[in-house]
Amino acid sequence: MTKPGNKIDRTLCSYVIEYVQKVVSDDISSLLKSVRIQIKQAIEERLTVDPIGFGKPLRYSLKGLRRLRVGDYRVVYQIKNKSVIILAIKHRKDIYDNA
């Protein structure tokens, strides 16, 4: 636990990241290595700590899902309890057609 005025202990509020099989087999493998590294780092640094604060809620047919912006790429995910389920990782021009 933390004392007042101290930073929050991130181990107490960390989320578990899970990937849908399609993301692993299709989305991640199609990315350039440099983009893959950026996205992995963003997921580890942001979504494991505060997926609600860092992500933006989606609307209409994608209501209930959230997205994380990483350059020109978008990570679409869903939060269930303490798990963040990654549903799609694609370029911004393609993501909402396939999510």
For residue 18, the surrounding DSSP H or E stretch is strand 16-19
Q: What's the whole-number mean pLDDT along residues 65-69?
A: 97
* pLDDT tens column, 16-61: 999 999 999 999 999 999 999 999 999 999 999 999 999 999 999 9
The model's pTM is: 0.83
DSSP 21-77: HHIIIIITTTS-HHHHHHHHHHIIIIITT-HHHHSEE--GGGTT-EEEEETTEEEEE
Where are the domains positioned within the chain?
A: 16-98
- Output the CA torsion sign for 90, 97, 55, 65: negative
CATH code for 16-98? 3.30.2310.20
Measured CA to CA, the distance from residue 30 to residue 26 in angstroms comes to 6
DSSP letter (8 states) at residue 98: H
Confidence of residue 13 (pLDDT cuts 50, 70, 90): low
